[in-house]
Amino acid sequence: MAAAKKKVKRKAPAKKSAPKKSKALKKKVPARKPAAKRAAPKKKAPARAAPRPRAAPRPAPAVAPRGPMAGDVRVGVVSHYYGHLAVAAVRLEAALSVGQTIRVLGHTSDFRQRVDSIQIEHEAVSEALPGDEIGLKVVEHARENDVIYRVPG
């Protein structure tokens, strides 16, 4: 006799049951936001006063013209500026001595000062000649290619 095969009955997967509804369940009502404040009614702008008559334009203040003044002598050109020392390195084209008044004139520079200190190779001198490269203590920022003029007087 042949071995009888047993049929195995498989169980169906269990079904999930629906959640039970309770009698006390109520829908949540969202909390009300406070009502937005209304803007105050716009006030009418006051009537404009009659325009004032314009004053006559002011004359421009007298400014010294850019460039050398009459009698100024070109002394040299700034070749470098040392900001931490406030010293300009100047290549001289004419003689310069301590006590003379100079004018430094450039694209953004324009100031006058009295020469208090001149140095050549870190040695203080009282006078420098054309062709010398000097260190000149300046009171304001001098830029490369600024021109130095000796002011008469």
Domain boundaries, the chain: 73-151
How is residue 107 annotated by DSSP?
Answer: S
Q: CA 61, 69, 118: angle at the middle one, nearest 5?
A: 115
- pLDDT of the residue at 21: 60
Instruction: Kindly report whether the global pTM for this prediction surpasses the value 0.85.
Output: no
> Coil, strand or helix: which one is 94?
coil
Classify domain 73-151 by CATH architecture. Answer: Beta Barrel (2.40)
Q: Which has the closest alpha carbon to 133: 83, 84, 86, 96?
A: 96
Each residue of 65-78: pLDDT tens digit?
688 888 999 999 99
Q: Which has the closest alpha carbon to 102: 76, 65, 66?
A: 76
Q: Which has the closest alpha carbon to 120: 99, 144, 97, 102?
A: 97
Amino acid identity, residue 53? P
Among the residue ranges 13-27, 60-74, 93-107, 119-133, the one predicted with the least confidence is: 13-27
